[in-house]
Amino acid sequence: MKLKKRAIYHLCLLCICILCIVSIYYWRQHTMYTYPNEEVYINKIFENEIFVKGLPYQQGTWEEEYIIQINSTLVIKDSKGGMVDIHSLNRGDILLFDYTGPKNSRFSNGTILNGKKVNAYNFRLSEDKLNLKLWRLE
């Protein structure tokens, strides 16, 4: 009798744990989105930071000026998959990256893209370059 009650108790505990795990997984899948190929252009380059801005013809999440920290983990690839030297980047170059986060998030001016707050990764240099004169950004 005691063994039967203990088995029922453990079975109920197991069901509750499984229900919690499934609900957490469901919630995460429906609140976190992956956005591939987000575009920003390089505005300024310093020794340890790259300042990027959202493209002028884009509306949405990336409208302010953001920072990419230059550190040992930062990897920027070209369109063919090769590594890009940070010193070869120029103002107006378009960077693509992937972003995972909430659906309707807005980030303030000066947010670090490759920091803890924003989950931006897989930086790539686009073959295109922003025409700064056309958009009156020079």
Q: What is the pLDDT of residue 116?
A: 82
Helix (H, G, I), strand (E, B) or coil at 114: coil
Fold topology of 33-129: OB fold (Dihydrolipoamide Acetyltransferase, E2P) (2.40.50)
Give the distance, in angstroms, between the CA of residue 137 and the centroid of all CA atoms in the same chain.
25
Nearest alpha carbon to residue 95 among 117, 120, 115: 120
Instruction: For the chain, list residues with pLDDT below 50.
Output: none
Neighbours of 36 (CB within 10 A): 10
pLDDT tens for 83-99 read 999 989 999 999 999 98
pLDDT tens for 95-116 read 999 988 877 777 889 999 998 8
Give the distance, in angstroms, between the CA of residue 17 and the centroid of all CA atoms in the same chain.
31
So where are the chain's domains? 33-129
Whether the pTM exceeds 0.95: the reply is no
Q: What is the pLDDT of residue 73?
A: 87
